[in-house]
Chains A and B, each alone.
Chain A
Amino acid sequence: MSLDATNRTDRRTRVLVAKLGLDGHDRGAKVVAHTLRDAGMEVIYTGLRRTARDVVAMAVDEDVDVIGLSILSGAHLALAQQVLDELAVRGARDEIAVVVGGTISATDDAVLRQMGVAEVFGVRSPLAELAPRVQALVSADR
């Protein structure tokens, strides 16, 4: 393990909870942010109506480990792809894991994972599992 990696493991996991696109429903995003904070993570919430470019720029600036996208409008495939592409453009595809939460069918769950989304949280995902599953992504990364 390199020194650099050791330093990263020591710090608290940083998560950017993001609302992408025009959908204004942020109840889930706020509950998720609250839950991850309670689990000891550092959580930044973007606020509403961000573009993929805004979100990735914020993620890189804030040096987060994970971007959590909350999408309830049904546009999750297009919007998640935009974020993955933007991460690739910024060369941060390997450093930052992308997870998606929202009203997502089993079919789209599989498609998202194939695209490179690390975790998908459907409606009623147990809150207790949220932080461990996010943490597992960060630990697996290191």
Chain B
Amino acid sequence: MTDESLAEGMAAWREKHAAKLATVTERPSLLGAPLDVLYAPTDGEVDAAAYGRDIGLPGEFPYTRGVYPAMYRDRLWQMRLYSGFGDAESTNTRWQFLLAHGNNGVSAAFDLPTQVGMDSDHPEAVPEAGRVGVAVDCAQDFERMFAGLPVEQMGISLNAHSTAPFVLALFLAAMERQGITPGQINGSMTTDVLKDYVARGTWIYPPGAGIRMVCDILEFCSAEMPRFYPLVIRGPDIRDAGADAIQEVAFAFANAVTYLENAQARGLDIDGIATRLSAQFYYYGDFLQEAAKTRAARRIWSRLLRDRFGARKEASWLLRVTASVGGTHFQVHEPETNIVRGTLGCLGAVLGGVQGMLLAGYDEAFDIPTEDTARIALRTQQIVGYESDATAVPDPLGGSWFVEAMTDEIERLVLAKMAEIDEMGGSVVAIESGYMQREIAKSAYNIERREQSGEKPIVAVNIHRGQGEPPELVVHAPDSKVADRQRAQLAALRAGRDEVETQRRLARLRAAGEGTDNLMPIMIDCARADATLGEMVDVLRGVFGEFKEPAL
């Protein structure tokens, strides 16, 4: 078929079916614009040059079809459940359970005091200690949390956010006591602090200090932890705060640009650090478009690293992606239906070719998962992985006119938004001026209105509502004794340690904060002397100050 006859054919088809096409249900796309009813090869015959340039082959630039040549035929993604609650012992028990059921890694959820750098005995920390994650105050907590686990054989992701450098220091000091070196640790960390100002709200210091510490970690880990990916560029927090998929990728990548520019300004070699970065995104129910988003993200990333940052090694160009499934996609009404929503999100991630996945328990809208809901979340991933043919070939959606069109369109819109932020002066300006936060709040309001009006259908919520009230879920009961136990442990720790030595090392951390030395080795030294998370965070607060939220 020639280009002309194809275009004519499409026009004739549209005209012939015009009456029907005018009355179809409108489907908003992930991009905000309504979806067309049909996608076809309007560019005519497949152009081999364009295919090679934009799509290519799996494991090859621009990695649209995946980062590895055989993808899941070689090995499946890392299956993890974001998990942790109470204290080190209760978290250790849950992890033993998950590993026994086939999880090949753990993804540590920390409680809010740990995420904002407060010890469990801080007055504001008490009602939150051990509630949404595990309470961590000192190296000993990590020793107990990982007791008896095959640390060198498993993937470990530490989701500490703003306090990532401190948490890593405590973790490494604990591992050292068990004879494990940093080089033996395989895993990742959510060190991306900029997204905390954008969306997550667990910030501490102003962005400048946050970026410096991210660069410290990048430098430290590139040298000492070859199996560890310390900088996961995070979209999920941005998406779940109400952003659309374009904002999710564009804001996350704009933040990545800031880290890479700062790292280069410090003199770090781009090829030395690029492989330490990976990305994470949310996967909701529009799984074909979420898959397209992942393909577009990889294409953008490879060109960004090669062309803008001058990376020369192939390994620097490819973007490994971890999927988050759950969040605001999961509903409170008829919560067991979230198992199906989780399956759709999982499919989108797998068809998009991700390297890791965190799938939430179906009770996520209520509380942290029980053993049962955690098990079902893992089984969902295993069923998609082992029983379906979504894993049979790399990029099974490649060549779908719809998916290729969405991939191109998402790429175009993300690049436009990134350019907008560049013009503003970069992501720090976009954060300090409140631009990103306002954009997300606006999008969240629009989404809420669309969902409440039924324009965006949600089964059992705004269409086909069931009779009666939603059943009360069986939720995991928070352990109110956690704060007391942590307080007792802290008292014993402070009484038992060499106080003069601990204070001497904390003073060195303060001095290093005022200078330009890499803070990581000094923090690890503090952790070895049983300095607590809160003590280290406070010492640097004295140097860096605190972030002030822009008024919205």
**CB-CB nearest in chain A for B331:** A124
Chain B residues lying within 8 Å of A45, measured Cβ to Cβ, are 552
A24-B202 CB under 8 A given contacts A31-B448, A107-B472: yes
Interface of B is mostly: loop
Whether the pair A21, B124 counts as a contact (CB closer than 8 A) is yes
Whether the pair A124, B333 counts as a contact (CB closer than 8 A) is yes
* Interface flag for B365 (CB, 8 Å): yes
A75-B242 CB under 8 A given contacts A22-B115, A127-B448: no
B545 vs chain A, min Cβ distance (A): 15
A49-B241 CB under 8 A given contacts A73-B131, A79-B127: no
Whether the pair A30, B116 counts as a contact (CB closer than 8 A) is no
The distance in angstroms between the C-alpha atoms of A96 and B241, with both chains bound, is 29
Interface of A is mostly: loop
A49 vs chain B, min Cβ distance (A): 7
B431 vs chain A, min Cβ distance (A): 14
The distance in angstroms between the C-alpha atoms of A16 and B203, with both chains bound, is 23
* Interface flag for B135 (CB, 8 Å): no
Whether the pair A73, B445 counts as a contact (CB closer than 8 A) is no
The distance in angstroms between the C-alpha atoms of A49 and B127, with both chains bound, is 13
A55 vs chain B, min Cβ distance (A): 13
* Interface flag for A122 (CB, 8 Å): yes
**CB-CB nearest in chain A for B469:** A106
Whether the pair B201, A26 counts as a contact (CB closer than 8 A) is yes
Whether the pair B445, A30 counts as a contact (CB closer than 8 A) is yes
A51-B124 CB under 8 A given contacts A31-B444, A34-B441, A103-B332: yes
Whether the pair A21, B242 counts as a contact (CB closer than 8 A) is no
Whether the pair A105, B441 counts as a contact (CB closer than 8 A) is no
Whether the pair B332, A75 counts as a contact (CB closer than 8 A) is no
Chain A residues lying within 8 Å of B200, measured Cβ to Cβ, are 24-25
* Interface flag for B153 (CB, 8 Å): no
Q: Scan B535-552; emit 1 where CB is below 8 A from any A CB, else 0.
A: 000000000000001001
Whether the pair B201, A48 counts as a contact (CB closer than 8 A) is yes
* Interface flag for A123 (CB, 8 Å): yes
**8 Å CB contacts to A: which residues of B13-66?**
none
Q: How many interface residues does B have (CB within 8 Å)?
A: 41
Whether the pair B366, A48 counts as a contact (CB closer than 8 A) is no
Whether the pair A73, B469 counts as a contact (CB closer than 8 A) is no
Whether the pair B201, A25 counts as a contact (CB closer than 8 A) is yes
* Interface flag for A11 (CB, 8 Å): no
**8 Å CB contacts to B: which residues of A20-69?**
21-27, 30-31, 34-35, 45, 47-49, 51
Chain A residues lying within 8 Å of B178, measured Cβ to Cβ, are none
Chain A residues lying within 8 Å of B128, measured Cβ to Cβ, are 21-23, 73, 75
**CB-CB nearest in chain B for A45:** B552
Chain B residues lying within 8 Å of A22, measured Cβ to Cβ, are 112-113, 115-116, 118, 124-125, 128, 202
B196 vs chain A, min Cβ distance (A): 7
A27-B478 CB under 8 A given contacts A21-B128, A126-B452: no
* Interface flag for B132 (CB, 8 Å): yes
* Interface flag for A140 (CB, 8 Å): no
A74-B112 CB under 8 A given contacts A30-B552, A47-B549: no
Chain B residues lying within 8 Å of A122, measured Cβ to Cβ, are 332
Whether the pair B127, A21 counts as a contact (CB closer than 8 A) is yes
* Interface flag for A128 (CB, 8 Å): yes
B374 vs chain A, min Cβ distance (A): 17
B10 vs chain A, min Cβ distance (A): 41
Chain B residues lying within 8 Å of A31, measured Cβ to Cβ, are 242, 441, 444-445, 448
The distance in angstroms between the C-alpha atoms of A19 and B445, with both chains bound, is 18
* Interface flag for A3 (CB, 8 Å): no
Q: Scan B196-218; emit 1 where CB is below 8 A from any A CB, else 0.
A: 10001111000000000000000
**Interface residues of B, Cβ cutoff 8 Å to A:** 112-113, 115-116, 118, 124-125, 127-128, 131-132, 196, 200-203, 240-242, 328, 331-333, 365-367, 440-441, 444-445, 448-449, 452, 461, 469, 472-473, 475, 478, 549, 552
Closest 8 CB pairs of A and B: A24-B201, A22-B112, A78-B127, A30-B441, A75-B127, A47-B549, A48-B201, A123-B332
Subset of 7 A-B contacts with CB under 8 Å? A21-B127, A22-B115, A23-B112, A24-B202, A74-B132, A105-B472, A106-B469
- 10 more contacts with CB within 8 A, not counting A22-B116, A103-B366, are A22-B128, A22-B202, A23-B112, A23-B201, A30-B242, A35-B445, A47-B549, A73-B128, A74-B131, A105-B473
